[in-house]
Amino acid sequence: MIQIQDLKVSVWEKQILNWVSLEFELGKNYCLLGKNGSGKSTLSSVLMWHPKYEVTSGSISINGEDLLEMEPNERSNAWIFLSFQNIPEIKGVKLSEYLRTIFNISEKGKNPEFADLSPFIFKRFIKKHMQELQIDEAFLDRDLNVWFSGGEKRKIEILQMKLIGPKYIILDEIDSGLDLDAFKTVASMLQSLSSPENSIIIITHYFTILEYIDVDKVFVMKAWNIVKEWGKELAQEISESGFGEV
């Protein structure tokens, strides 16, 4: 479980989160809803670690351990996966090598005895996953995300999630930049990734994604704080009738 208590965050002395408290439990999915500038991306960046943001008070624990004391690589090591609002393109890094590297690091984190998979073995292993996600094998030889479409980039992210098996998957506005078909495909892939072992946290302006992914709780953020919590039924009702201003 991730427990956030009375969290205050500032950037260059400007306060952008104020007494935020909430919990994420494994086996449940969440939605963080709120207008631009309400602090949603700040909260996700603080969970993953970001040099820009300073936690000035409060605490975040993960399974009872102090998350704020953990290095970013410890946080990512099978714990937290943050899907960025804008996915970076990296020239000179081949997709296959990138995936092999993160897979080997993640497996070593779980079992220090793990012997790295060679490029040859890894390619055989990854192709099975790529077929499931309907990603063309030719992508393996291309540079990471360079000239990939929005939908392709998201599929590659889902492939990474499958490889690492993170517990908490935070998706910051994944709906931006996708057309409806790509959005539906990505949403249904995410739904199939959802399990009692993980928790999907969706950050969005819109309710549409809730039609495709089961969400147990909705948090509404406003002016740098959580102002409302809705259970599943209420969220469903509001998503059908429209929620107006939040």
- For 160-198, give the DSSP string: HHHHH--SEEEEESTTTT--HHHHHHHHHHHHHH--TT-
- Residue 39 sits in the site that holds ligand ADP (CB under 6 A): yes
Task: Draw the binding track, 47-86, toward ligand ADP (x: CB under 6 A; -: no contact).
Answer: -----x----------------------------------
Tokens of 23: 């919990």
Return the C-alpha torsion angle 114, 81, 177, 94, nearest 10: -20
Q: Quick one: which of 14, 71, 88, 242 contacts ligand ADP (CB under 6 A)?
A: 14
Residues interacting with Mg ion, by CB under 5 A? Answer: 41
In contact, 190 and 158? CB cutoff 8 Å: yes
Among 40, 100, 154, 167, binds ligand ADP (CB under 6 A): 40
Q: Tell me which of 38, 106, 198, 239 binds ligand ADP, using CB under 6 A.
A: 38
Measured from the CB atom, the residue of 39 and 99 that comes closer to ligand ADP is 39
The interface partner of residue 14, options being ligand ADP, Mg ion, none and the CB cut-off 5 to 8 Å by kind, is ligand ADP
Greatest CA separation for the chain: 54
Task: Please identify which residue in 41, 96, 145, 199 interacts with ligand ADP, judged by CB under 6 A.
Answer: 41
Instruction: For the beta carbon of residue 184, count every other beta carbon within 10 angstroms.
Output: 16
In the set 27, 37, 72, 231, which binds ligand ADP (CB under 6 A)? 37
Q: Which residues partner with 90 through β-bridges?
A: 144
Give the residue among 76, 95, 33 at the shortest CA–CA distance from 244. Answer: 33
Q: Which residues bind ligand ADP (CB under 6 A)?
A: 11-12, 14, 16, 34, 36-42, 52
